[in-house]
A and B are shown apart, each in its own frame.
Chain A
């Protein structure tokens, strides 16, 4: 095997665990807990760079009123408390990665490989992918795809890759502002382009950005992206429609931050008999049509399904019972309560 590129080196680092959980939203996180109580180890993969799924990405500050024993809790607080609750089980997170392929190995294990080259093997896979993967919303520009991954990006993987570059950053949210500030020291020049002089971002970031503009360290253009200039995939400039007319901003990189949208992604190709983008499961084990692969939370479907966080929690508990039988064949599973079982309390690191 050649080790000339990162991908190969990464895939050489094969992780092994009891259960691979795709999706680190509330249901994926609670699955760590239920599997952990049964002594099963877990790795989680999520395309977001933080745990919490929709709760963290779409409505961190919105109150949720139907979590048992919490008359009101925000998406962010729910995520933080779940993280606290699963801490004793030391789950391994692979964040900012997309679960790209699922194959069965010769040894009968499931192997998942991510777009970053991480490979994980386990006897059990739990799909807790909610409404699908969060993918960047793209600007509507002609020939955009021809520039992607060479000159146009929707996320920053390595700051170093932007050293000495002329960068157009498009958008008016926290991501656009944060990356304008973070890349400014390494970039040759940054031009922030937003359709208006108003931002949906932390006020201190906006203030710092405006300071940099007044110091002449960066440029800010109010306008709409019009077209990409240069022989694709090499970008030489970005044409922007401003109140004064068309303006070409010289640039060899463009970063567009227009928020995220949900797409099912590669899970659609895992061979799970999807019906209307949902994965049919039974209601005893929440297992899919493929033995050893389970689906819980918003992504599954069964008669009577309710897309509620609390339903996902219940599904995680029942799934775990079946997952135990697969991971520990022949071992007897005892039903125990956390209030009285010393074994569970040891696993929870309270006894």
Chain B
């Protein structure tokens, strides 16, 4: 199971992922710089990623909490998500994300 992550330099990383792990945790575990200040509590909006359009329909619904955080970001785009709210599963194998400028570590 893999995810593809584009970092602050524009470099692409193919990262080995584990089912049940949060995408944020996978990015952090492989030392790709991401702020993720609150550690996955959906409290800070510093694990903000842009998800490739073809993956959007496979993502879980956003909670009200996630929407509230994203709405405060000037960098929000239609494909914005908080990566701590995306749990890896077979359906997301190959997921493609770009770390948003406000969350680059």
User: For the side of the interface on B, what is the size category?
Assistant: 10 to 19
B33's closest neighbor in chain A, by CB? A276
Please determine whether B68 and A262 come into contact, CB atoms closer than 8 angstroms.
no
Give the Cβ gap from A222 to chain B, nearest Cβ, in Å.
Answer: 12
| Stretch from B8-16, B37-45, B87-95 that touches the partner | B37-45
Known contacts A58-B43, A58-B44, A259 near B38 by CB under 8 Å: no
Q: Are A140 and B37 in contact, with the CB atoms below 8 A?
A: no
Known: A140-B74, A200-B68, A258-B72. A59 touches B41 (CB 8 A): yes
Q: Is A305 an interface residue (CB 8 A)?
A: no
Looking at the assembled complex, report how far the CB atom of B9 sits from the nearest CB atom of chain A, in whole angstroms. 16
Q: List B contacts of A62 (CB < 8 A).
A: 41, 43
Which residues of A have CB within 8 Å of B72? Answer: 137, 258-259
Question: Which residue of chain A lies nearest to B38 when distances are taken between CB atoms in the complex?
Answer: A58
Given contacts A137-B72, A140-B74, A172-B68, A261 and B37 within 8 Å (CB-CB): yes
Contact string, B36-68, partner A, CB cutoff 8 A, digits 1/0?
Answer: 011001011010000000000000000001001
In this complex, what residue of A is CB-closest to B68?
A200
**Residues on the B chain within 8 Å of A262, using CB:** 37
- B95 to chain A minimum Cβ distance, whole angstroms, is 25
Secondary structure call for the A interface: loop
User: Which residues of chain A from 114 to 154 have a CB within 8 Å of any chain B CB?
Assistant: 131, 137, 140
Q: Are A58 and B71 in contact (CB under 8 A)?
A: no
- Asked whether A59 and B46 contact (CB < 8 A) given A54-B38, A131-B37, A200-B68, the answer is no
Say yes or no: is A314 at the interface (Cβ < 8 Å to chain B).
Answer: no
On chain A, the residues within 8 Å of B41 by CB distance are 58-59, 62
- B65 / chain A contacts, CB cutoff of 8 Å: 200
Residues of A close to B68: CB separation below 8 A: 172, 200
A196 touching B46 in the complex, CB below 8 Å, given contacts A58-B38, A58-B41, A262-B37: no
B44 to chain A, nearest CB (A): 6
* Residues of chain A contacted by B74 (CB below 8 angstroms): 140
Q: In the complex, which residues of chain B have a beta carbon less than 8 angstroms from the beta carbon of A196?
A: 71
Inter-chain contacts of A195 with B (CB < 8 A): 71
Q: Is A261 a contact partner of B71 (Cβ separation < 8 A)?
A: no
Give the residues from 61 to 105 in chain B that come closer than 8 angstroms, CB to CB, to chain A: 65, 68, 71-72, 74
Partner of B44, one of A140, A172, A200, A261: A261
6 A-B contacts (beta carbon < 8 Å): A58-B41, A58-B43, A140-B74, A200-B65, A258-B72, A261-B44
- Could you list 4 further interchain pairs (A-B, Cβ under 8 angstroms) beyond the known A62-B43, A172-B68? A58-B41, A59-B38, A258-B72, A261-B46
The 6 closest A-B pairs by CB, nearest first: A59-B41, A58-B43, A140-B74, A58-B38, A200-B68, A62-B41
Residues of chain A having any CB pair with chain B under 8 Å: 54, 58-59, 62, 131, 137, 140, 172, 195-196, 200, 258-259, 261-262
